Amino acid sequence: MRDKHAKGDIPLFKEKLEAYKQEFTEQTMIVSEEVYITLKLNLNCSLKEFIQVKVYETLQAYMEDLTHTQGESTHMFQQVQTGKSKIENKRLSSASLESNLKTSGMMLNEGSAL
């Protein structure tokens, strides 16, 4: 008897599943913060509303991670730029010092030739 009843539920289940697939689209699952707060306060929510709450919470977690990662990336980029500037300044300073030493050496050579 139970097998017979369970087999009769399969087409009904498939129909509900197809209906949910059509109802649960990206447009209906992503909600604003105001809608999220309203749904979160509703204790007797539907399956769709429950899923909307969970989707919102999951997306918020990803957005927070993304914001944090972008901040770290920006900070690292600034550090690299600062490092490049320091290296370039040291290179220019070294080139200038080298040029001054060559000029001083030429003057010393000219002085000793007299």
Task: Say how many domains are in the chain.
Answer: 1
Q: Choose among 62, 15, 58, 41: nearest CA to 49.
A: 41
pLDDT (tens digit per residue) in 47-57: 889 989 999 99
Q: Which domain holds residue 77?
A: 2-113
> In this structure, how many other beta carbons lie within 10 angstroms of the beta carbon of residue 93?
10
- Please indicate, yes or no, whether the overall pTM of this predicted structure exceeds 0.85: no
Query: What integer is the mean pLDDT of 97-110?
Result: 74
**CA end-to-end span of the chain, whole Å?**
123
* Placement of tokens 């927070």 in the chain: 64
pLDDT (tens digit per residue) in 22-76: 877 777 788 999 999 999 998 898 888 998 999 999 999 998 988 989 889 998 9
> In this structure, how many other beta carbons lie within 10 angstroms of the beta carbon of residue 28?
13
